[in-house]
Amino acid sequence: MSNKRTKPFSIKYLPGFTPVALVCFVLLYAPIVTMVVYSFNSGQSVALFEDFSVAWYFAAAENELVQEAALRSLIIAAFASGIATVLATMAALGTTRTKNYPGRTLIYLMINQPLMVPEVVTAVALLIFFASIKVATGYSGLAYLILAHAAFCVPFAYLPIRARMEGMDRALEIAAADLYATPWKTFRRVTLPLVAPGIAAGAMLAFVISLDDVIITEFVKSAGQDTLPTYMLGQLRRAVTPEVNAISSALLAVTVILLTAFFLLSGRNSPVGK
Amino acid sequence: MTDTSTTNARQLSDLEVRAEKERVKRNWLLSMPAMILLLLGASGPLLIVLVYSFMTPGDYSGVIWTPTVKAWFQIFFTVDIFDDTVRLADAHLTIFGRSLRLSLLTTLLTLIFGLPTAYFIATRPGRQRTLWLFLITIPFWTNLLIRTFAILEVIRNEGLINNFLRWLGVIDEPIQILYTDTAVLIGMAYVYLPLMVLPLYAAIDRFDFRLVEAGYDLYANRWQVLRRVILPIVKPGIIAGSILVFVPSLGAYVTPRVLGGGKNMMIGNFIELQFGQGRNWPLGSSLSILLLLVVAVALLFYVRAANRGGSDE
C-alpha cells in the first residue's frame, strides 16, 4: 500500500480522528436543529411534524408573562452589565500594566471568584444573605437580582478588558503626559479610545451571561420576578411546551446573530471568554 | 562615588518610594468598587454560609443561633430515631457517589469526543478553521437551559431517538432514558463538550508539527506519535479542559433537575432541597461548603499542573 500511495504522506493525519470529529459536530447540532425545526410545527406534539407555522412564536410573543419576563431579563442584564463593565474597567486599570504590588493577587482572586465557586453555592449564599436583608428592610425589588448579576458579571467583563489593556502601547500615554495632558485627559482621549474594543467585548459578554443566568436568579428572585430563563424552567413539565420551544429558538437566533457580528467585527479573535 | 551623588541618589529613591506608594494607593482605589461589589454579591455571603453550617435548623426555615456541629455530622451519618445507633447516611452517600461518578464520566466522555474534534479543528487550513471554531462557539454561547431542553426532546420517550428506533422496528416499547443517570450523563456531556474542546484547541493550535515530522523520521507509527509526542505536549490543555468540565459538572443543578427528575439528584439539587422542602438550612450550608472544598482541591491541582506544564492560562 505504501508504495502505491498517490497522496503525499500527511503528518497531521491521525486515523479515526476526522470521523469522530464529524460525528461530534452532528451530535452537537442535531438536538438544536430539531428544536428549531419543531418550533415551526403547527401541532402540539414534538414527535410529529404537521405543518409549517409560526403560530407558536406569536403565541409566545402575545403571552403577557413572557413579555414581562423578557422585559425583566433585559432590564436586569442592562443594569448588571453596565455596572459590571464600569467597575471591571476601573479594576483593570488598577491591576494591569503595573509592577506587582501587595494585594494584587487578592484582587485577582476576588474578581475571578465567581468563575471558581460553583454557582449553586453562590446562589445559596445569596439566598441566605438577601433573605435576612429582605426581612430587615421590607424591600424586595429588582435591586437584589441586579446586584447579584452585576457581581458574577464582573469577571466576564474584566477578562477581555484586561487582555486589551495588556496588549496596549504605553508610549502613547506617556506621550500624552509629555504634552501636558492631565491624567484624566490622557485617560479620556488616549487610553479609553484604545481600550474601547475590549470594553465593548466585555460589556457584551457580561450582558449575555446575565441574560442566560438560571441558578442564581432562581434562588434570589422574589415571587413574581421571573426572568425569561426561570420562566422557561418553570413551564417545564414532562416535555417542553411548543411555546417554550419557540422562545428557545428565538433566543438561539439572537445568540447566532450576536456571535456572527462579533466574529466579523473582531476578525481573527474568537469571542472565547475563559 | 562622592557624598553629593549619594545624597542625590537617596533623594531620588525617596521620591521613587513615594511615587510607588502613590501608585499602589491609586491601584487599590481603582479596584475597590469592584471588590466591594463582589464582597456584597459573592464572597461575603459565602462566609455567612460557613457560619450557618454550624447552627441549629429553625422550625420552618432559617436557623436558630445555637452553635452545633450537627449539620456536618448529618452529611455522613444518621442517628436512628428509636435506638440512637449511629449509621452511615446511605441516601447522602448515594448522591455524593452519583455526583462524583457522573462528573468523572462526563469529563471522560467529553475528552474522548473533544480531543479528536479539537485536533480536527486545529489542523484545518486557515479560513476553514475559523468556520469550524465558530461552529463550536455557537453551542458554547447558547443558553445552557436551551441546550438541556434540546437534548430532553431527543431522549424522552416520545422523542427523536425512541421514535426513530420504533420506526425502524427495533423496539416496540420506548426505552426509558429520561429520568435516569444515563440521561443526566448524556445531557452534561452534551452541554459541557465545548468547554473541553476550546482549551484543547488552544493547546493543539500552538503545537509545533515539526515535532511530529521528527517522530515519523525516527520510524514512529501514528499511534506512537499520538501517545509519545502529541499527548505529552498538549497535556496542559487536557488538564485545563478536564477541570473546566469537571468543576461545573460537580456543581450542576439545571441539567440533573431537567433530565434526572426528582429522584436522580446530584449534590447541587440536594443542596437546593435543604433550602426548600428539606427546611434544613445548616445541612444545606455544610453541603455547600463541602462542595466548595472539593472544587478548591480540583482547582489547586489544576494550578499546580498548569505551572508545571508552563501553560500561560
Q: What is the mean pLDDT of residues B254-269?
A: 91
Share of chain B above pLDDT 90, in %: 51
Which residues lie below 8 Å from residue B26, measured CB to CB, with a gap of 6+?
A: A94
pLDDT at B5: 67
Average pLDDT, chain A: 87
Domain CATH code at residue B236: 1.10.3720.10
Whether B247 maps to a domain, the answer reads yes
Residue A213, pLDDT > 90, answer yes
Q: What is the mean pLDDT of residues B285-301?
A: 93
SS (H, E, C) A127-179: HHHHHHHHHHHCCCCCHHHHHHHHHHHHHHHHHHHHHHHHCCCHHHHHHHHHC
CATH classification number, A64-266, choose in 1.10.3720.10, 2.40.110.10, 1.10.760.10, 1.10.8.60: 1.10.3720.10
Whether B300 maps to a domain, the answer reads yes
Lowest model confidence (mean pLDDT) among B2-11, B14-23, B60-69, B254-263: B2-11
∠ at Cα A119 (A113, A120), nearest 5°? 135
pLDDT at A4: 52
Check the CA dihedral A187-A190-A192-A198 and report its sign.
negative
Whether B7 maps to a domain, the answer reads no
Per-residue pLDDT band for A177 (boundaries 50, 70, 90) equals confident
pLDDT at A259: 83
pLDDT at A273: 39
Residues of chain B contacting A158 with CB distance shorter than 8 Å = 34
In this predicted model, which residue has the larger pLDDT, B113 or A105?
Answer: B113
Residue B57, H or E segment: strand B56-57
Residues 91-150 of A with CB under 8 A from B: 91, 93-95, 98-99, 101-104, 107, 110-111, 113-114, 116-122, 124-129, 131, 147-148, 150
Question: Which of A21, A150, A232 comes nearest B120 by C-beta?
Answer: A21
∠ at Cα A118 (A117, A121), nearest 5°? 95
Q: What is the pLDDT of residues A27-81, one digit of tens each?
A: 999 999 999 998 898 877 666 677 888 888 999 999 999 999 999 999 999 999 9
Grouping H, G, I as helix, E, B as strand and the rest as coil, residue B78 is strand
A39 and chain B in contact, CB less than 8 A? no
Whether B153 maps to a domain, the answer reads yes
pLDDT at B172: 86
pLDDT at A268: 47
Whether B43 maps to a domain, the answer reads no
Per-residue pLDDT band for B304 (boundaries 50, 70, 90) equals confident
Which residues lie below 8 Å from residue B23, measured CB to CB, with a gap of 6+?
A: A98, A101
pLDDT at B277: 86
Residue B313, pLDDT > 50, answer no
Residue A7, pLDDT > 80, answer no
The residue extents of the domains of chain A are 16-53, 64-266
Residue B54, pLDDT > 90, answer yes
Lowest model confidence (mean pLDDT) among A165-169, A228-232, B269-273: A165-169
In this predicted model, which residue has the larger pLDDT, A272 or B247?
Answer: B247
Alpha-carbon distance of A269 to B238, in angstroms, equals: 22
Average pLDDT, chain B: 89
Q: What is the mean pLDDT of residues B30-49?
A: 94
Residues 60-79 of B with CB under 8 A from A: 62
The parent domain of residue B242 ranges over 87-309
A255 and chain B in contact, CB less than 8 A? yes
Per-residue pLDDT band for B2 (boundaries 50, 70, 90) equals low
- Pairing relation of β-strands B86-88 and B77-79? antiparallel
Which residues lie below 8 Å from residue B195, measured CB to CB, with a gap of 6+?
A: B110, B140, B241, B244, B245, B248
Other beta carbons less than 10 A from residue B64's beta carbon: 11
Burial class for A159, CB neighbours closer than 10 Å (0-12, 13-18, 19+): buried
Distance from CA of A153 to the nearest CA of B (A): 10
Residue B98, pLDDT > 60, answer yes
Number of domains in chain B: 1
Residue A272, pLDDT > 50, answer no
This prediction has a pTM of 0.88
Check the CA dihedral B68-B74-B79-B80 and report its sign.
positive
